[in-house]
C-alpha cells in the first residue's frame, strides 16, 4: 500500500475533545449518533464510503438483492452534524503512546479513540483457502460470487465434458454458522425454483450443494433445536449437510473432506469464521484470540482513552469468559452505551458498565423456512420466516431501501424469480471487460 502524499488528513482545530471513530459499521455509527452535537469533535474513518447491512449480504451473492438495497452511503447519515468529519481512509497504525493514528494519508491526534473496525474472514492462516475460496464478508466479494456463479452456469451449457459440468455446478459451503446456512438455503432455492427456468438444457440433478461444518451441529451460536431444524430444512432444499467434517484440501478443482469424500467443485464458499481487524501498533498484551481486550466499559486494557467495540472488542469478564458473540446486536448496543459513557465522563460522572440484552437470533433457510431463538422461545417454519422478514425489514430503517427490499422480496416470492442475475465483472481501464470478454 503506497502512501498518498498528495492527500492530507487535515481536520480543523477545535477546543472540544476530538473523538476518532475507526469504522462506520453497526458499532461506529451508533457512537457517532450518540455523540451528535454533544460537545465533541467527531472524526469517522472508513476505507469504504458506505455501511453494509451484512446480515443480508448472502442475498446479494445469490442474486436476490442489489448492493444498494443492503448498503448505504455513510455521509448522508451525518448531515447537519456539527464539528463532524468523515474521511474515507484506511487506518494502518495506532500509536497509543502519543495518542495518534496513522493512515495512508497522514497522521491524526486524538483525545479519545474508538476502535470499531469489525472483523474479517478468518482463513486460519491457510493461504490456499485465501486464494481459492470465496469469502462472504464484504459487498464486492458478494458481487464477485454472484457473477462467478452465473458465469459457471453459462459455461456449463457450453461444456462438452461431464466432469467439467459437474465442477461448474457443484457448490461447497464451509462453515455452518448463519452465513453458511443462509447462503446454502439460498443456493438450494436457486436450484429448485430459479435456475432450471433459465437453463432448460441443463439437468439440474448434476448441481450438488454441500455444507460442511467441523462441529457436531449447525448454528452453534443458536439453540440446539434451531440447529437441528436448520439441518432438516436444508435437506428439504437438497443440501448435503456434513457435520464433524472439515475441508482437508482444495486445489481449485477438487475438494477433499476429512471424511474421505471427494467433490469436484469450482466454487467453495468460505464462511468458516471471522477474526478481528487488528491494526498495527497495539501491544500484544492487549490482544487475545484476534480481538482487543476491553473492560466492561469497552476501555482497552492498559489505556485510558482508547475503546474497542463490536466484533473487534473482547470483553472478557466472569460472566462472559469468551466475550460476546460477534453480531450486529452487540455492536450496536456497545456503540450506544459507549456514546452515553463518554458523555457521562465529560461531565465527571461514573460510566455505566455494558450489559448485553440478547434480543434473540435467527436464520432463514430458503423459501418459507427460518429458525428463531427468542430468550425464552425457539420456533421454526413459515411463521419464523415471516418474523425473520419483518425484523430484517424494520432493521434496515435508516437506509431508504425498505420499500425496494420489500418489493424485491414480494416479487421473488410470487414469481419464484430472482431479479439481479447480471454478470457484471471487473471493469479494468485499458483492458476493458476482463472475464465478460473471454467467452
Enumerate the active-site residues: 182
Q: Contact between 437 and a copy of itself (CB under 8 A)?
A: yes
For residues 4 and 386, which CB has a smaller minimum distance to a copy of itself in the complex?
Answer: 4
Whether the CB-CB separation of 412 and 194 falls below 8 Å is answered with no
User: With helix as H, strand as E and coil as C, how does 198-240 read?
Assistant: HCCCCCHHHCCEEEECCCCCCCCCCCHHHHHHHHHHHHHCCEE
Q: In the complex with a copy of itself, which residue's Cβ is closer, 142 or 255?
A: 142
Among residues 36, 192, 378, 425, which is the contact residue for a copy of itself, using CB under 8 A? 425
Q: Which of residues 383-422 bind a copy of itself (CB under 8 A)?
A: 400-401, 403-404, 407-408, 411, 415, 417, 419-422
Restricted to residues 5-64, the positions that interact with a copy of itself (CB under 8 A) are: 6-10, 47-50
Question: DSSP character for 278?
Answer: P
Per the CB < 8 A criterion, the answer to whether 112 and 100 are in contact is no
Task: Residue count of the chain, please give it.
Answer: 439
- Distance between CA atoms of 280 and 91, rounded to whole angstroms? 9
Question: Degrees (nearest 5) of the Cα angle 89, 279, 350?
Answer: 95
Minimum gap (Å) between residue 155 Cβ and a copy of itself? 6
Residue from 95, 126, 164, 358 touching a copy of itself (CB under 8 A): that is 164
Which H helix or E strand runs over 190?
none
Select the residue interacting with a copy of itself from 104, 328, 374, 393 (CB under 8 A).
104
Give the per-residue contact string, 173-212, with a copy of itself (x = CB under 8 A; - = no).
Answer: ------------------------xxxxx-----------
Which residues, numbered 58-97, are part of the site for a copy of itself (CB under 8 A)?
66-69, 71, 73, 75-76, 79, 85, 87-90
Q: Which among 426, 418, 153 is positioned nearest to 266, based on CA atoms?
A: 153
Q: Taking CB under 8 A as the criterion, which residues in 354-373 touch a copy of itself?
A: none
Nearest to 39 by CA among 277, 339, 263, 366: 339
Total binding residues toward a copy of itself, as defined by CB under 8 A: 76
Whether the CB-CB separation of 195 and 171 falls below 8 Å is answered with no
| C-beta closer to a copy of itself: residue 199 or 379 | 199
Q: How far is the CB of 174 from a copy of itself (least distance, A)?
A: 17
Shortest Cβ distance from residue 132 to a copy of itself (Å)?
9
Residue 165 binding a copy of itself, by CB under 8 A: no
Task: List the strands of the sheet with 134-135, edge to edge.
Answer: 134-135, 267-270, 171-174, 209-212, 239-242
Asked if 424 is part of the footprint of a copy of itself (rule: CB under 8 A), the reply reads yes
- Asked if residues 222 and 373 have their Cβ atoms less than 8 Å apart, the reply is yes
Does 224 engage in binding with a copy of itself (CB under 8 A)? no
3-state DSSP call for residue 81? coil
Give the interface segment with a copy of itself, choosing from 160-168, 225-233, 238-246, 347-355 (CB under 8 A).
160-168
**120 versus 242: smaller Cβ distance to a copy of itself:** 120
Residue (96 or 147) nearer to a copy of itself, CB = 147
Give the burial string for 12-49 (b: 16+ CB within 10 Å, else e).
eeeeebbbbbbbbbbbbbbbbebbeeeebbbbbbbebe
Residue owning grid cell 449447525: 218
Task: Give whichever of 79 and 97 is closer to a copy of itself, judged by the CB atom.
Answer: 79
User: Could you give the C-alpha distances from 435 to 39, 90, 164, 403, 432, in angstroms and in order?
Assistant: 51, 29, 18, 33, 9
Least distance in Å: CB of 390 to a copy of itself? 20
Residue placing its CB nearer to a copy of itself in the complex, 69 or 226: 69
Identify residues 117-156 at the interface with a copy of itself (CB under 8 A).
Answer: 131, 138-141, 143-144, 150-151, 154-155
User: Shortest approach of a copy of itself to residue 348 CB, angstroms?
Assistant: 32
Cβ neighbours around 200 below 10 Å, total: 7
Instruction: Report the residue number, 68 or 296, with the smaller CB distance to a copy of itself.
Output: 68
In sequence order, what are the beta bridge partners of 334? none
- For residue 273, what is its C-alpha cell? 469464521
Report the alpha-carbon distance of residue 224 to residue 379 in Å, rounded: 11
Q: CB of 138: closest distance to a copy of itself in angstroms?
A: 8
* Least separation in angstroms between CB 349 and a copy of itself: 32
In the region spanning residues 306 to 335, those forming contacts with a copy of itself, defined by CB under 8 A, are: none
Buried b (16+ CB within 10 A) or exposed e, 416-427: eebebbeeebee
336-355: which residues touch a copy of itself (CB under 8 A)? none
Rounded to a whole number of angstroms, the minimum distance from the CB of residue 14 to a copy of itself is 13
Nearer to a copy of itself, 317 or 407 (CB): 407
Least Å from the CB of residue 434 to a copy of itself: 9
The answer to whether the CB of 117 falls within 8 A of the CB of 32 is: no
Amino acid at each position: 500500500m503506497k502512501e498518498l502524499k498528495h492527500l492530507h488528513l487535515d481536520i480543523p482545530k477545535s477546543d472540544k475533545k476530538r473523538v476518532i471513530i475507526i469504522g462506520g459499521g453497526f458499532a461506529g455509527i451508533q457512537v457517532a449518533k450518540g455523540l451528535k452535537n454533544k460537545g465533541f469533535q467527531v472524526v469517522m474513518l472508513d476505507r469504504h464510503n458506505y455501511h453494509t447491512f451484512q446480515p443480508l449480504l448472502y442475498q446479494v451473492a445469490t442474486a436476490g438483492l442489489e448492493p444498494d438495497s443492503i448498503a448505504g452511503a455513510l455521509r448522508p447519515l451525518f448531515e447537519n452534524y456539527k464539528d463532524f468529519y468523515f474521511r474515507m481512509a484506511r487506518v494502518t497504525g495506532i500509536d497509543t503512546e502519543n495518542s495518534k493514528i496513522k493512515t495512508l494519508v497522514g497522521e491524526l491526534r486524538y483525545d479519545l479513540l474508538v476502535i470499531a473496525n469489525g472483523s474479517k474472514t478468518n482463513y486460519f492462516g491457510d493461504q490456499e483457502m485465501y486464494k481459492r475460496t470465496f469469502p462472504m464478508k464484504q459487498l464486492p466479494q458478494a458481487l464477485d460470487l454472484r457473477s462467478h456463479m452465473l458465469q459457471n452456469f453459462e459455461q456449463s451449457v457450453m461444456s462438452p465434458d461431464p466432469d467439467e459440468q459437474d465442477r461448474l455446478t457443484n457448490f461447497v459451503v464451509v462453515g455452518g454458522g448463519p452465513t453458511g446456512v443462509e447462503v446454502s438455503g439460498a443456493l438450494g432455492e436457486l436450484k429448485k425454483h430459479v435456475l432450471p427456468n433459465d437453463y432448460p438444457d441443463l439437468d439440474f440433478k448434476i448441481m450438488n450443494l454441500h455444507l460442511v461444518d467441523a462441529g457436531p451441529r449447525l448454528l452453534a451460536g443458536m439453540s440446539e433445536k434451531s440447529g437441528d431444524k436448520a439441518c432438516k430444512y436444508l435437506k428439504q432444499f437438497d443440501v448435503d449437510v456434513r457435520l464433524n467434517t472439515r475441508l482437508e484440501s482444495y486445489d481449485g478443482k477438487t475438494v477433499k473432506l476429512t471424511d474421505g469424500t471427494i467433490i469436484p467443485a469450482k466454487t467453495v464458499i468460505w464462511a468458516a469464521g471471522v477474526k478481528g481487524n487488528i491494526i498495527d501498533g497495539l501491544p500484544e498484551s492487549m490482544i487475545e484470540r484476534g480481538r482487543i481486550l476491553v473492560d466492561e466499559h469497552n476501555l482497552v486494557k492498559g489505556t485510558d482513552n482508547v475503546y474497542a467495540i463490536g466484533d473487534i472488542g473482547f470483553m472478557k469478564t466472569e460472566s462472559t469468559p469468551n466475550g460476546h458473540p460477534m453480531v450486529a446486536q452487540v455492536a450496536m448496543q456497545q456503540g450506544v452505551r459507549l456514546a452515553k459513557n463518554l458523555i457521562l465522563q465529560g461531565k465527571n460522572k461514573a460510566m455505566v458498565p455494558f450489559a448485553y440484552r440478547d434480543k434473540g437470533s435467527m436464520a432463514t433457510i430458503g423459501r418459507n423456512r427460518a429458525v428463531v431463538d427468542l430468550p425464552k422461545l425457539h420456533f421454526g417454519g413459515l411463521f419464523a420466516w415471516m418474523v425473520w422478514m419483518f425484523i430484517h425489514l424494520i432493521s434496515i430503517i435508516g437506509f431508504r431501501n425498505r420499500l425496494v427490499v420489500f418489493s424485491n422480496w414480494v416479487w421473488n416470492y410470487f414469481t419464484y424469480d430472482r431479479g439481479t442475475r447480471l454478470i457484471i465483472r471487473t471493469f479494468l481501464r485499458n483492458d476493458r471487460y476482463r472475464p465478460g470478454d473471454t467467452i
